[in-house]
Structure 1
Amino acid sequence: MKNIICFFALSFAINFFGNAQLNNYKYMVVPKQFDAFKEMNQYQTSTLVKYLFTNNGYTTIYDDQLPEDLLNNGCLALKANLDDRSSLFATKVAIVLKDCNGVIVYTTQEGRSKIKEYKSAYAEAIRQAFKSFELLNYQYEPKEKEIEKPITVSFKNDVKSLNTEPIKSVSKTNQNKIAEATKEIQKNKPVVSEEQVKEVAMEKVVSSSVNTTSEILYAQPIEGGFQLVDSAPKIQYRLTETSVENVFLASHEDKNGVVLKKKDKWFFEYSDNGEKVLKELNIKF
């Protein structure tokens, strides 16, 4: 009797904490080709896993169809993988869930099948493994920061114009600074034209708005990009790769922007109350 009580207590604890862990994630990402296979959707494993997750109440997406909020914050999702433990006499699998840092968050029970035909065998084993999720009453519970309405900042045009276009518009605050800098330049330095004076003044104002830091940040590879940690170590930035070389979507505390390389220096560019801010970073890859 004592052993039975311990068994149910242990099962309850596993299900309770497993459920609490999974509730923090908005999406389940399923690869179209699992690591254990040589072909995409081999034996229709990806299709089945996605269907079963959706059927259990999870918002499930393929790894090449990520929504915008997940592209900006990869830690909203868990990535599913198929741990193939098959032997000569049986097909054996477990479903493993990893977070954005590659840390295993949850592993299901092992599903088994002795069917000789592979497609049917994997289907039976996967369905058995998914019984672990049927016991979890999943319901997405966003963290406090995620509940607040995020500030949406589009950097689409900024990425296209990096190092190729001058700044064409500035805030009213910077316009006043440019006017003051123009007067100062005209007093102390002869110039050829008024346009050249404004150009020099604008460069002076923009360069003064760049924040610099001497703190060394160490880049650690994670899935889809890097995380930048300080000497504590504490994660300060999360970088997601883009199609543009040396340009990353970045998140830092409550700020979203881009980290980019310009003239052998790294910068974090973001919007603060409608004004563009550049912060120089000391990154060691």
Structure 2
Amino acid sequence: MKKIVLIICFFLSIAVHSQEKYKYVIVPKQFSFFNEPNKFNLNSLTKSFFESEGFTVFFEGDDLPDILVRDRCNALYADAIENNSMFATKIVIQVKDCQNKILLNSLEAVSREKSLEKAYVQVFREALTSLKGKIDFESRFSTPVTTNSNETIAISEAKVLSNNVVAITQETSNKNLLFALPTENGFKLVNAVPNVIFELQKTTISDLYLAERGMLDNGIFYKKGEKYFYEYYKKGKLIIENVEVKF
């Protein structure tokens, strides 16, 4: 009977591990169509977007945590594809796995701005925004589970993996919840990673703040009733988002 239980625990541990969601994204320091790193701050903009989606993000060449040093298949990889025409700047953002398989394409963002910097910033923001809320993949790659003939160790490993599942599930269910950290002029709103998602600056009106969301957009942040909202303009349209935050 013990052997049957151990076999079940072993296969459950493998299944659980293989279903973990990606937590890391690696972004190039320099896109292939530019001749210098972080041209127009676009690589930083891309990194900021994925952080706002709850990922821990590294640039290529950064010091990586042990889990990525051991197996780079634990990360997603972001890249930008340029498809410019004579009068238009066109960009698609791709999300790939470690085997270079494309998991997700953004919409093709197009700008006819004459200023290259304005055009690229515009298309990157539009392409990245189209990915918002869509990057939710389970890893297809499982790190081999090392087992031991010792029954106590096998059962212990199964319990640890089960606990990880609970933690991941709880984190995923609350992934939109932000936490307010006081600053000299207002607050920083961070997620559970923690990445800074919003920077708020106080105004003369209670519960009304000037807000910046990384390099993506800026607007106002305010409390209405018991809820918090972020308002900003996108392509001339007023967007209002409900934000879950704990002060």
**Higher RCO by CA contacts (8 Å cutoff, separation 6 or greater):** 2
Q: Which has the larger radius of gyration?
A: 1
Higher helix share: 1
TM-score between both structures, scaled by the size of structure 2:
0.46
